[in-house]
Structure 1
């Protein structure tokens, strides 16, 4: 029966039952902030998440604990140097990250999956790409945030050492030079480690697998290289020690800072052995190549993840 037909026995059409409700929705007519704002927002959110900010209390404990260890050891070194009337710090600035590398390994292993695995697991990556943000923006924001988080972790204790050295009235020129060299070293370390950690963590949406894989990627090569360097020392093949370092991420950083920044090599040999200029140059080129390669691998990974 047509809806406008008269009601039976009345000769009048029925009353309309369809109603349009005004729910107060208005289209957004403000400024369009675009890709740059989205990229910066994602960077900020990812950097905060690396230290548990904006997350649950349980998520804040591991990064806070690791950050506290890095800073506390620096305070102890300064206290020992000043309390025993030393004329310099007992630990060189460039050696600090090398000696505290287990803490750095744990940090990148715990936080790299947080940066990328959750988005893959809950399939939120396509939601990012439905906004004015491209894959290159997503990867750049995540990479920059993780590298920045690592730089904060490794540079903060250097600042503590430097301030403590100045308060202890150590030589200003020597301390400033060592501090600047160490900042360059940890900047390279942050870029390299962030790339390796994110590239591995992005392979699986499961955080546990990502944590285990990242730890293995840093600790297994370090152990193997240390063993090979010890054997080379016993066989008096000192030149091979620097070349073996190329097979470990921390060894790359050690070679670079030993060759170009005047740092004392932190090898597994009983005594420091300076790498050859060729080994140091190869370490620098390989570190840059690995960093760029990890970035490209992430771009390739998210071409598929966004489908």
Structure 2
């Protein structure tokens, strides 16, 4: 015992208080936004994680590149597809991107119960929700806006009318901005309701893609029954037809509804209000969800 006592020592390992800069909530919020946005494209993750988002990005941009090449080679008077219609035609690709990346953004934090660790730092529930929402919306705006930029640059190279192309490009950007906010909100809400990524992927596909097929089928039946008056209202039940309706009413887009029976300016106001309500409602649901899981 005496020997053991003689060998017992207390070492001063030099602990001291942190006296560096306190970056605070704003820095933490920006860092979470940046990390989530990069993660949506697999940046900073394994090579396997980059394959699907980069492949979907290429699939979104490839048709635009082909259209530009055709327009330049044939000296066309206009682009084959309007800026406001491009995302509507490729809505299935956009839905797959959301289905893959929304659960990746939030489901892992829920599954491994790491959300309370975020809130143990100078970051609050609203910071987490805003950073995740903004990151997913930004990732969607990149994947939907990049093809429009390719079309615009190609149209200018083909010497199409500058004013018309600039106006169409601006209208297209407004359309995909609304689409990005709507799809990001719905995708994150669905993904945040379950820590199981597989369930989240299936549910997002059902809401964003299957709903479009179902609404289109019912609209087709209504058209065959000469019930054209209800076609525009059926579009309220699918996210992509909501964006289509807003574009038809306010952005000069041609409608993909059967017979071209899209909403006019009156019904278009209803479409716009529903889109804004869904975006705000998604934010509110996320705030409520993280009030519980952040404890």
Give the structure 2 partner of residue 168 of structure 1.
158
Paired with 1:83 and 1:287, the residues of 2 have a C-alpha distance of 39
Shift of 1:24: 4.2
Give the structure 2 partner of residue 278 of structure 1.
266
Paired with 1:157 and 1:104, the residues of 2 have a C-alpha distance of 12
Structure 2 residues not aligned, in runs of 5+: none
Question: Contact (CA 8 Å) 2:78, 2:160: kept in 1 or not?
Answer: yes
How big is the alpha-carbon RMSD for the aligned residues of Structure 1 and Structure 2?
A: 1.6
Give the structure 1 partner of residue 279 of structure 2.
291
- Which has the higher Rg, Structure 1 or Structure 2? 1
Shift of 1:143: 0.3
TM-score, structure 1 length as denominator? 0.93
Shift in CA distance, 126/88, structure 1 to aligned 2, threshold 3 Å:
same
Give the structure 1 partner of residue 33 of structure 2.
43
Q: Does residue 290 of structure 2 align to residue 306 of structure 1?
A: no
Shift of 1:247: 0.4
After alignment, is 79-88 or 138-147 more displaced? 79-88
Paired with 1:220 and 1:168, the residues of 2 have a C-alpha distance of 37
Give the structure 2 partner of residue 83 of structure 1.
73
Q: How does 1:115-134 map to 2 (within 5 A)?
A: 115-134=105-124
Structure 1 residues not aligned, in runs of 5+: 8-12
Secondary structure class of the residue paired with 2:260: coil
Question: Contact (CA 8 Å) 1:201, 1:211: kept in 2 or not?
Answer: yes
Secondary structure class of the residue paired with 2:113: coil
Secondary structure class of the residue paired with 2:267: helix
Question: Contact (CA 8 Å) 1:239, 1:276: kept in 2 or not?
Answer: no
CA-to-aligned-CA distance 1:160-204 (integer Å, 9 cap, x gap)? 000000000001111000000000000000000000000000011
Paired with 2:246 and 2:184, the residues of 1 have a C-alpha distance of 17
Question: Contact (CA 8 Å) 1:246, 1:252: kept in 2 or not?
Answer: yes
Question: Contact (CA 8 Å) 1:46, 1:142: kept in 2 or not?
Answer: yes
Determine which of 90, 93, 110 is the counterpart of 1:103: 93
Secondary structure class of the residue paired with 1:292: helix
Shift of 1:206: 1.1
Shift of 1:236: 2.6
Question: Contact (CA 8 Å) 2:248, 2:263: kept in 1 or not?
Answer: yes
Paired with 1:14 and 1:231, the residues of 2 have a C-alpha distance of 90
Give the structure 2 partner of residue 10 of structure 1.
none
After alignment, is 156-165 or 233-242 more displaced? 233-242
Paired with 2:252 and 2:222, the residues of 1 have a C-alpha distance of 23
Shift of 1:97: 0.2
Paired with 1:285 and 1:239, the residues of 2 have a C-alpha distance of 20
Shift in CA distance, 14/187, structure 1 to aligned 2, threshold 3 Å:
closer
Question: Contact (CA 8 Å) 1:239, 1:275: kept in 2 or not?
Answer: no
Shift of 1:15: 5.7
Q: How does 1:114-263 map to 2 (within 5 A)?
A: 114-263=104-253
Paired with 2:92 and 2:211, the residues of 1 have a C-alpha distance of 13
CA-to-aligned-CA distance 1:129-183 (integer Å, 9 cap, x gap)? 0001000000000000000000000000000000000000001111000000000
After alignment, is 224-233 or 15-24 more displaced? 15-24
After alignment, is 162-171 or 204-213 more displaced? 204-213
Shift of 1:26: 3.4
After alignment, is 81-90 or 117-126 more displaced? 81-90
Paired with 1:93 and 1:51, the residues of 2 have a C-alpha distance of 24
